[in-house]
Amino acid sequence: MNLSWRWLGEFVDLGGVDAIAFAERFTCAVAEIDGVHCIGPGLEAVTVADVVAVAAHPNADKLRLATLDVGGGRSVTVVCGAPVLRVGMRVPFVAPGVRLPSGLEVKDGDVRGVRSPGMLASERDLGLGDDHGGLLELDGCAVPAGTPFCEATGADDVLFEIDNKSITHRPDLWGTYGMAREVAALLDRPLRPLDLAVGLGSGDPVRLQVGSDSHCLRYLCARLDGVRVGPAPVRLRLLLRRLGVRPISNIVDATNLVMLETGNPLHAFDARFVRGGAIEVRRARPGEALVTLDGSTRALEPTDCVIADAEGPVALAGIMGGADSEIRPDTTAVILEAAAFDANAIRKTALRLGLRTESSARFEKALDPGFADVAARRFLQRALAVAPGARVTSGLADAGPLAGRGQAPIVLHTQASVLRERLGVTPAELTDAWMDAAYGRLGFGVERSPVAARSADLCEDPARDGLAVTVPPWRATRDVTRPEDLIEELGRVYGYGNVRSEAPRVAARPPHVPPLKRLERDLRLALVHGSGLTEVLLYAFEDEAARQRLGLDDGPGCTRLGVRNPIASELRHLRRNLAPNLLAAVERNLVAGDGRQASRRGWQVALFELGRAFVPVPAAAADPAEPGADERPSLDFGVPAVAQGERGPGERAQYLDQLEPEMRAGTETAAARRRPLPWQPVRLAIAVGERLGGGADGSKFAVPPREVSERLWAELTHALAVVARAAHVPPFVLDRALPAGALPLPVAPPDPDATWLHPSRRAWICSGDGQHVVGLATLVHPAVRAALSVPAEVAVAEIDLAALLASPPRPTLGRAPHAWPGSALDVTLHVSPALDSGAVLAAVQSVPLAGADAGGLVVDVQWVATFDAPGGTARAVTVQLQCRAHGRTVTAADLDAVLDRLEHGGEPLRRMGARWDRPAPTPGFGARTPPA
Amino acid sequence: MATDEPGADWRTELDQVQARWQAAVAAGADVAALRTLEVDALGKKGEITALVRRTGALPPDDRRAFGAAVGALRGVVEGWLAERADDLQAAVLQAELDDSTFDVGRPAAAGRVGHVHPLSQVQAEVEDVFRSMGFHVLDYPEVDSDFSNFESLNIPSWHPAREMQDTFWLDDGNLLRTHTSAGQVRAMHAFEAPFRAVFPGKVFRYEATDASHEHTFHQIEGLMIDRVVSVGHLLDSMRTLLRAILRDAAVEVRLRPGYFPFVEPGFELDIRCRVCGGGGCSVCKQRGWLELLPCGLVHPNVLRAGGLDPDHWQGWAFGLGLSRLVMMRFGVPDVRLLLAGDVRFLAQF
């Protein structure tokens, strides 16, 4: 919305105020100004001229020669191409050598062989509008020829381009007069009252009836006769143009101008088409329709408010008039409507019909119905001025629940000390007198009374600390209804820039950070710096197209949460697991990246994401009364129940007890009443993909060589080892089968039946003690691999962070390193290739190698290497037994004892059919002498 | 075998052997050559070792002298070998010390380098600023209730702000939170006042995407609840925050009225444009100021919904767009890059 500085000047004295400097103050106190536009520079050399003669152009049919009186007794003949040119017109004349704001340069030159020293200008030439069809006719400018154009038409102006979003809560600011009130308050200058004097006729304009349930609060109307419809005076037309409204005719322009002045929309009907001489404001009836001014047929609903005549709707109340009754060139009698409607009803109808108009935009802000009367009177004044011969032939009919009244003012009680406290100012900075004056300038009434001050420091006069503030009707509809709303009124006039910045004085307490948040941060840094993975953040929505193409199904029974209004039909579900979106991201990167950029290790892409998955709550768990509901995974946001503060929960309970039942319903009971939220576990997903170079036969979707799959699996398990380290838990155990006695997750990430998991190359990720499942690691199913746009192998893992937090931590002890030389024994076990290295290692680790009879040795067993025979016929797993003794060197006899125990106590090893050759017990990792 | 004096012949021979080995050792070019020489001279089948075996063939009178001479020869050659080895090693060391051909400028070995997402980097930085000032750092659900997202924030069902918010509604009747403010009342119920907290996270808006609009983006909410909280406190806290996260001690801020149903008074906080310094440029659209974050004093209805008596408790709150902050910090031209998961983009951070 544009605001005209020139027009503001009609309501408040702007003498000596620099509009551009003032714009910043206005932005900080009232509404955001998006831009300031100066109109006038470049128009100084444009003058008013009268066309005294018109002659044909000797060399062109479409051009004519206009002889002009340009004032001062001078006459000029210029070439003009406008068809509207006629003798007796007043037009803007631009002398040669001028560059107009539109960029047009006017020259003294020949036009088709005839000299033309200057030109006649259209709106567009002058940069005042987009009408270039003809000439800007300066009718109604009672000035001598030669008068500067701007002086004659008031076209020079400064426009503030107001950001409408910044005044959505201010019904009073949708008209210039309301803005002028703010300007006057900021400048501390008087606001001129609006002249509302108008000569009315007598009798009713129509039989007026306003239905009590019609959504109409107040409806005024009057009748004008003797109207001659024509263009409005140029001054008015140019003002409308500046404010962004297209001039139409004197009557319609007058309605628009008064709307822009008062903020209250108006409508003018051609009285001929108000059938039956009656207007009824009512709800639309079922099946009713209306052709609106824009030519569209609107199907109406009984929730809509309409203006109807004896035969049916003639206007969509507060939004748009009907096409049948609009003002036409031959209209002579006009019925004016000035009304106020229920803001929500207007908004709902406008929203439903997708028809937001200047009118509906204003009504939905909850205008003061008092504006309607002001607007009606201002319109009648204007109409009489712009349509000579017109007269008001009726009285001003006024009906509706708020007829004759408008919004009632409301009184709010507060204290000067409270206002100062909220702003952070002292009585010396903001005095009582200043406070009262500031409110007064904004139209608020202030009455003082003695009330005990909130704080003596903030009180100027204890006998006058209490305030009863009367909110003016134009602010009282919605905007200022609570004592807190008064703070802003004072603050913005005082100037927020004048408020002292003051550090809050707070209790020194260590902040609470949920363990989950700490874990996320630790994992992020570890995976990036320890494992060389790149963090991505992806959408919560899943792309159905990608899911279908790749065959990423979560598994039977794994429902996803649907979006009722998806942004695109492919994005209609929330992810139940992180892995599918991450897989799609790996594919995109393998396609887009040139590999070397993606990672330095050939053609790999290694990504991870930390984020929430969304699991719908099963119907049984949704009902808290249902048994078992408590067993659903807790939404652990890491927040303790109300922390016991120094004041304890007593104050809260007391406060809640005092509340009215419905207010209490607005707090805790409403919180309890709400629908259960879906489970939103925080997950970590890791994916490592490697692009393949096509098969030996040149086929695109080659089966990856086994070493590629093994390499990616190793990359993935390395990342998991980093995760375990960063999460302070013992190394994970990866097991194809769920370990006996392990606690499975209530919602597996991902579900083991998900179609994209490799059926045999996958493993549960379990805590080191094998008791807690924390996630799943897998290579992608060959079908998914084949569906990828590039030949590639991908390894994926997903971990539930709450499960990770719940698994037992790694004990951390600061033992001194052993001082005495130890010994290492490499033992190679020959096993079936169906046995995992991890299982073999676990079997060796299960043997009690370090009993008391083994000489108090400490034995640590580590995996060294696994060798698979070609063709997968045999497997050899080498483990290292690291032995150390307390206070002495390990001897060959010690090692013999350990090997004996392995031989005799290795029942699990025998069960798995492991063969091994007993190594020679050679002590030492290498010669090293203990410190003396 | 004619001799002038006893043993003269083998003495001459030993002298010759010694001279030959002296020359051979001196000519030994490297450690490997020396090793070969050592084997050839002193090894089991070496020439000098073989000399020892001739002792028995000598006249008894010569044997002792011969043995001593061979022993001495052996010692001398050993000495030469060791000396030569030392020299060679010293030369190698010196060559290494003098070497200027070592390619110190060779690009780093190919190893995979990971990258922290810029949003995580900026979020961690903002969290740390607040944690250092005693703010809890919390995490709240992305799918939330109508109550948390709207009703508790003084946005009842009829309120136009609900349409302004462009909400994604879910099949279960809940919604994707449209702002991190949805955590305000959760925090009020979770912590006994006074407290202060920030809660960052993803938020969702049902709106068409372009270079500056995304349906999913990141915010961080700040909330302070205490007995007395004023506009002056808010101003100071915001200034402190912005100084830290913009790393600019001279950052200039201003508050202007802004309407949000859950604060009263509500503000838009602007910072003086850091590109043009306030003179006006394309970044600030000639305004000289950049709109950065909405903030305000917590509305009494929100305090009530949080179980706090507005006669005794007050608060301030703000919502900062982390995505926007990342774009400002790193000059990111298109917000959609942030969630595209494109390593070519992320590898810059």
At A833-842, the pLDDT tens digits run: 988 898 899 8
Please list, in sequence order, all residues whose beta carbon lies within 8 angstroms of the beta carbon of residue A327, skipping any fewer than 6 positions away.
Answer: A229, A249, A251, A252, A268, A269, A270, A334
Q: Which candidate, A629, A606, A609, places its Cα nearest to that of A617? A: A629
As a three-state string, the secondary structure of A847-881 is CCCCCHHHCCCEEEEEEEEEEECHHHCCEEEEEEE
In this complex, is the C-beta atom of B290 within 8 Å of any C-beta atom belonging to chain A? Answer: no
How far is the alpha carbon of B256 from chain A, nearest alpha carbon, in Å? 4
Decide: A900 and A906 in contact? Cβ < 8 Å: no
Distance of CA A212 to the CA centre of its chain: 39
The SS3 of residue B67 is helix
Note the pLDDT of residue A628: 36
Note the pLDDT of residue A653: 59
Based on the number of CB atoms within 10 Å of its own CB, is A486 exposed (0-12), middle (13-18) or buried (19 or more)? buried
- Closest to B229 (Cβ–Cβ): which among A504, A536, A567? A504
In this complex, is the C-beta atom of A495 within 8 Å of any C-beta atom belonging to chain B? Answer: no
B-contacting residues in A 606-625 (Cβ below 8 Å) = 606-607, 609, 611-612, 614, 616-617
Decide: A337 and A221 in contact? Cβ < 8 Å: yes
Tell me chain B's radius of gyration from C-alpha atoms. 43
Strands lying side by side in the sheet with B263-272 = B136-137, B195-204, B216-226, B314-321, B289-298, B263-272, B253-257
Decide: A558 and A755 in contact? Cβ < 8 Å: no
Residues pairing with A191 in the sheet: A12
DSSP A55-84: EEETTEEEEEEEEEE-STT-EEEEEE--TT
CA distance B133 to A503: 11
The answer, yes or no, to whether residue A798 has pLDDT greater than 90, is yes
Q: Which candidate, A531, A498, A514, places its Cα nearest to that of A805? A: A514
Question: What are the tens digits of pLDDT across the range B173-192?
Answer: 899 999 999 999 999 988 98
Q: Which candidate, A261, A312, A267, places its Cα nearest to that of A293? A: A267
Decide: A334 and A224 in contact? Cβ < 8 Å: yes
- For residue A499, what is the nearest residue in chain B, using CA coordinates? B232
Note the pLDDT of residue A601: 44
Residue A346 tokens read as 């207007």
Note the pLDDT of residue A818: 79
Percent of chain A with pLDDT over 70: 90
The answer, yes or no, to whether residue A625 has pLDDT greater than 60, is no
How far is the alpha carbon of B266 from chain A, nearest alpha carbon, in Å? 8
CA distance A198 to A180: 23
The SS3 of residue B324 is helix
Region A241-248: mean pLDDT is 93
Contact state of B171 with A563 under an 8 Å Cβ cutoff = yes
H helices within A138-227, ranges in order? Answer: 149-153, 176-187
Question: What are the tens digits of pLDDT across the range A388-436?
Answer: 899 999 999 999 999 998 888 899 999 999 999 999 999 999 999 999 9
How many A×B Cβ pairs under 8 Å? Answer: 327
Note the pLDDT of residue A702: 62
The answer, yes or no, to whether residue A829 has pLDDT greater than 70, is yes
B-contacting residues in A 344-373 (Cβ below 8 Å) = 344, 347, 351, 364
Contact state of B304 with A31 under an 8 Å Cβ cutoff = no
Question: What are the tens digits of pLDDT across the range A868-917?
Answer: 988 888 999 999 998 888 788 888 888 888 888 888 887 888 888 888 88
In this complex, is the C-beta atom of A513 within 8 Å of any C-beta atom belonging to chain B? Answer: yes
Helix/strand/coil percentages in chain A, nearest 5 = 30, 25, 45
Question: What are the tens digits of pLDDT across the range A529-556?
Answer: 999 999 999 999 999 999 999 999 988 8
- Closest to A585 (Cβ–Cβ): which among B169, B309, B341? B341
Question: What are the tens digits of pLDDT across the range A694-731?
Answer: 544 545 556 788 888 999 999 999 999 999 999 999 99
The answer, yes or no, to whether residue B164 has pLDDT greater than 80, is no
Decide: B161 and A537 in contact? Cβ < 8 Å: no
Residue A422 tokens read as 């909220």
| Structural domains of chain A, with CATH | 2-40+159-187 (3.30.56), 46-155 (2.40.50.140), 207-399 (3.50.40.10), 414-491 (3.30.56), 515-614+682-806 (3.30.930.10), 823-916 (3.30.70.380)
Note the pLDDT of residue B6: 58
Mean pLDDT is lowest, of A462-471, A667-676, B91-100, B175-184, for: A667-676
CA distance B261 to B158: 12
CA distance B32 to A214: 110
CA distance B318 to B298: 9
In this complex, is the C-beta atom of B214 within 8 Å of any C-beta atom belonging to chain A? Answer: no
The answer, yes or no, to whether residue A634 has pLDDT greater than 90, is no
Kind and range of the H or E run holding A250: helix A250-262
The overall average pLDDT reported for chain B is: 90
Based on the number of CB atoms within 10 Å of its own CB, is A352 exposed (0-12), middle (13-18) or buried (19 or more)? middle
Mean pLDDT is lowest, of A156-160, A299-303, B58-62, B140-144, for: B58-62
Mean pLDDT is lowest, of A845-849, B196-200, B256-260, for: A845-849
Q: Hey, what's the torsion of the CAs at A168, A171, A174, A179, to 10 degrees?
A: -110
Please list, in sequence order, all residues whose beta carbon lies within 8 angstroms of the beta carbon of residue B251, skipping any fewer than 6 positions away.
Answer: B239, B242, B243, B271, B272, B274
Specify the amino acid at residue A32.
Answer: E
Q: Hey, what's the torsion of the CAs at A273, A278, A283, A286, to 10 degrees?
A: -60
Based on the number of CB atoms within 10 Å of its own CB, is B343 exposed (0-12), middle (13-18) or buried (19 or more)? buried
**Residue A587 dihedral angles phi and psi, to the nearest 5°:** -60, -45
CA distance A751 to A738: 13
How far is the alpha carbon of B1 from chain A, nearest alpha carbon, in Å? 55
Residue B194 tokens read as 């006074």
Higher pLDDT, A369 or A134: A369
| Region of residue A499 (left: phi > 0; alpha: psi -120 to 50; beta: else) | beta
What interface predicted TM-score (ipTM) does this complex get? Answer: 0.86
In this complex, is the C-beta atom of B150 within 8 Å of any C-beta atom belonging to chain A? Answer: no
Mutate to test the interface with A, among B162, B195, B231, B242 (most CBs of A within 10 A): B231
- Closest to A663 (Cβ–Cβ): which among B194, B257, B304? B304
Note the pLDDT of residue A849: 80
Contact state of A488 with B254 under an 8 Å Cβ cutoff = no
Give B8-16's long-range contacts (Cβ < 8 A, gap of 24+): B10/B58, B10/B62, B10/B66, B10/B69, B11/B69, B14/B51, B14/B69, B14/B70, B14/B73
Peptide bond into A750 cis (omega under 30): yes
Question: What are the tens digits of pLDDT across the range A649-697?
Answer: 455 556 656 555 444 444 444 444 457 888 999 999 999 999 887 544 5
Q: Exposure pattern of A888-912 as b/e (b: 16+ CB <10 Å)?
A: ebbeeebbebbbebbeeebebbeeb
H helices within B223-313, ranges in order? Answer: 231-246, 300-305
Note the pLDDT of residue A658: 57
Q: Which candidate, A12, A91, A16, A17, places its Cα nearest to that of A54? A: A91
Pairing of strands A573-574, A604-612: unpaired
Q: Which candidate, A396, A216, A208, places its Cα nearest to that of A306? A: A216
CA distance A243 to A126: 16
Contact state of A643 with B226 under an 8 Å Cβ cutoff = no
Pairing of strands B136-137, B195-204: parallel
Note the pLDDT of residue B153: 94
Q: Which candidate, A588, A550, A558, places its Cα nearest to that of A575? A: A558
Note the pLDDT of residue B275: 81
What's the angle, vertex CA B185, arms to CA B182 and CA B186, rounded to 5?
85
